Every structure is written in C-alpha cells, then in structure tokens.
C-alpha cells in the first residue's frame, strides 16, 4: 500500500471528479446506520458497496434504507451488494477490494456480533482492553487483503482502535489510517456541557482540545469523573479560551444513553464524519478537525487535522495546543486503566491488575502477553471462557 499522503492525493482527484466509492464491510447496526447517513448526504458523486456473508440479509437492509431515503427525497447514491464474503478468507476480501477499487473502506464487522462487550467487562473488571484480541480479529485480515490488493483506499476501523491500530503497526503489518468512535463519542458531550456552563445556546461555536484513551471515554461518559487523572483539556468559545471547572465539565458529561444497538448511531456518525472531513477538506480547502483513536499507530486517542500542508492533502496529529508527548503520556495512563499496559513488537501486553481482576471475576487467567500469531487462539479462549459463560448466566 502507498503512504497515506499518496493515497489521499488519489482520493483528492476522485473527489474533484465527483466519483467517490465507499465500501462498508459488515452491515450490522453500525454499517446500516452509516449506509443511511451516506445516502442522506444526497450526493450523486458517492456510491456505496456493502460487503458481508449473507447477501439476502444485506439486500433487505439496503432495500429499506434506499426506499426510506427516496421517500425523503434524498437518495442519489448507487448501492452495490457483495455477499458471500467470509472475513476469515483473506483471498475473498482481496478479490472484492480489487473488483470495486473503493476510495474508503470502513470495517464495521465484529468478531462476536450482537453483544456489547462493555456490558460484561465494565461491571466486572472496569476495563475494555480485555477484548482487544476480538477487536483485531477481522481487521487484521482486512488489512492483509488491502495490502495484497495494493489498494489506494483510506481504511477506517470501528473497534477499539486505541490499541488495535498500534498492535498492527507494531507487528509490521498494514494498519488502518483512522479509527472511529471512542474519544470522538466523548467530545460532543463536552461541547454540550461547556455550552451549558457558559450559558450559551450556540454549542457549535464551542471548540475542544482534548486527548485521552478509551478508559476515559467510558469512565467520564458513565460516571462523570476521571479516576483522578489530569487529562489535557482546553475549552474555547468563538476562538477565545474559557476557564471552566474540568471536574464540573466531566460531571456534566454523565448523561443518559441507550444500552442497545441504537448506541451505534455514534460509531456510524464517527465513520461518516471522517469520510466527510476528507471530502470537505478538498472541496472547501479548509482544515477539518476530528478526534481519532489509534491515529498513526499511536496508542490512545488524539485530535487530528485533515487538510492541506505544504500544498498537499494530508492528515496529522494537532499539536497546536498540547504536545504529542503530553497527549501520549495521558493516553498511556488511560489505556493502562483500560487493561492495556503496552503494545510493542507485535505483542499486546495486559496489565497485571486486569489479569488479577479477570481471574477473580471470570475464573480464568489471561496471558500477560498476546503475540500477533496468537490472536485467533486468544480470541477463541475469550469467547469460550468468558463471553459464553456470562451469556449463559443471563
């Protein structure tokens, strides 16, 4: 695969030619919401390819989405369906990528569908990192297929990118360019909270500079606190920095949210935002800021700018307020609280605290390190020894 900058240059041309193709791999709730959002964009220059195993189920979902869009008068996108694609079969994935030559590939698949992993882990071990082997299971195959196909697509991953993207990079493998969700779910809560604290109604004029790993996305959203970790945060309103109580802001981020699949509206929106940010950066020639887990293969989440640097379309971590070192330090603390001590040399390293908590909560002992070649074995172990027994209890 070419560098991100080289692939962005190719996509820039396709955007200007109004010939953009988005491939969604996995049409569960995240993929279905994303399809709806892309159709609602009402852009005839965007076509969508949905990829998965069960063509009949995908056809049914595509039918309702296209018809609902046309009822609203906002359906100008062509949608293509590719069924019979097994995400354990790298050659099959490669062939479908080569056939359609997408500009964006969004992985919205899950190794164990229909289950919110956090419904098991948060109450028992207060950490999400335990599921890392499941989160990487399919995207590693997709990235190998992308590499073999030598695709020029921008790849977006939806599952635990804070650790998954660094894991792939540290193993010397091709890795996604962007991760969606996680940090990006927390920032809008902060904007709403800051606007209320400032007594303003135009919350869209509130800007945030913030970095944190996945643990704090969950902890702040669920509990309104940071476990006494000092995170890099600044609040701006119409370009002016505002002094607000961080503790009060975090507390105000604790708002009621659904626990069923409607939560995936947020993850689908994050995918949509990344795609739109690239498109709008080209069309408007204005930098677009997004919050990305795992960007550049770095552990945790960061503010990222997409725009023009030295006359070339590019994407980079925004260090205009906080240095990379400041943000990376906080991210590593956050990820350690989430059970991930480090990701290095192709190995994901669990914290001793998580190993002990998992033993007490589930009666199983996690390995200290999960080498890249043991991902499948460890994922099966987690499904068989943790997920299935917990489901049976309910």
Each residue of 190-233: pLDDT tens digit? Answer: 999 999 999 999 999 999 999 999 999 999 999 999 999 999 99
Q: What is residue 282's three-state secondary structure?
A: helix
DSSP state of 113: T
Q: How confident is the model at residue 118 (pLDDT cuts 50, 70, 90)?
A: confident
Q: Is the pLDDT of residue 262 over 80?
A: yes
Residues 6 or more apart in contact with residue 218 via CB below 8 angstroms = 118, 122, 128
Measured CA distances, 45 to 11, 40, 72, 338 (Å):
13, 13, 19, 41
Look at residue 153 in the predicted model and tell me its pLDDT.
Answer: 98
What is the DSSP-derived secondary structure letter of residue 322?
Answer: S
Please give the average per-residue pLDDT across 28-35, as a whole number: 95
Burial class, 238, CB count within 10 angstroms (exposed 0-12 / middle 13-18 / buried 19+):
exposed
pLDDT interval class at 115 (50, 70, 90): low
In this predicted model, what pLDDT tens digit does every residue of 265-319 receive, in sequence order? 999 999 999 999 999 999 999 999 999 999 999 999 999 999 999 999 999 999 9
Q: Write out the two tokens for 128.
A: 């999400």
- Average pLDDT rounded to a whole number, residues 375-387: 95
Average pLDDT, the chain: 95
Residue 393 has pLDDT above 80, yes or no: no
């Amino acid at each position: 695969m070419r560098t991100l900058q080289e692939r962005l240059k190719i996509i820039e041309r396709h955007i200007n030619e109004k010939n953009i193709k988005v491939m969604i791999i996995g049409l569960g709730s995240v993929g279905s919401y994303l399809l709806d959002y892309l159709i609602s964009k009402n852009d005839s220059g965007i076509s969508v390819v949905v990829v998965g195993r069960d063509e009949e189920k995908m056809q049914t979902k595509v039918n309702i989405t296209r018809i609902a869009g046309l009822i609203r008068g906002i359906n100008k996108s062509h949608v293509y369906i590719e069924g019979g694609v097994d995400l354990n079969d790298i050659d099959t994935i490669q062939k479908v990528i080569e056939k359609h030559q997408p500009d964006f590939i969004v992985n919205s698949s899950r190794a164990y569908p229909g289950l919110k992993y956090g419904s098991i882990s948060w109450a028992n071990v207060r950490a999400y990192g335990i599921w890392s082997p499941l989160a990487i299971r399919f995207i590693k195959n997709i990235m190998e297929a992308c590499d073999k196909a030598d695709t020029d697509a921008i790849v977006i991953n939806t599952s635990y990118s804070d650790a998954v993207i660094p894991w792939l990079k540290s193993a010397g493998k091709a890795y996604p360019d962007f991760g969606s969700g996680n940090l990006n779910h927390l920032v809008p809560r902060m904007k709403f909270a800051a606007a209320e604290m400032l007594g303003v109604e135009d919350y869209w004029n509130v800007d945030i500079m913030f970095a944190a790993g996945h643990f704090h996305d969950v902890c702040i959203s669920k509990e309104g606190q940071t476990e006494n970790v000092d995170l890099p945060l600044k609040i701006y309103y119409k370009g002016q920095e505002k002094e607000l109580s961080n503790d009060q802001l975090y507390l105000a981020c604790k708002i009621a949210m659904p626990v069923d699949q409607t939560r995936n509206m947020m993850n689908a929106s994050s995918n949509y935002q990344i795609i739109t940010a690239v498109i709008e950066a080209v069309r408007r020639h204005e930098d677009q800021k997004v919050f990305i887990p795992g960007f550049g293969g770095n552990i945790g989440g960061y503010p990222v700018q997409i725009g023009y640097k030295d006359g070339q379309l590019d994407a980079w971590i925004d260090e205009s307020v906080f240095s990379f070192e400041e943000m990376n330090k906080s991210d590593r603390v956050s990820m350690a609280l989430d059970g991930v001590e480090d990701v290095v040399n192709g190995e994901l390293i669990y914290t001793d605290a998580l190993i002990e908590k998992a033993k007490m909560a589930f009666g199983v002992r996690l390995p200290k390190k999960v080498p890249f070649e043991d991902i499948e074995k460890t994922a099966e172990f987690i499904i068989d020894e943790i997920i299935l027994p917990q489901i049976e209890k309910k």
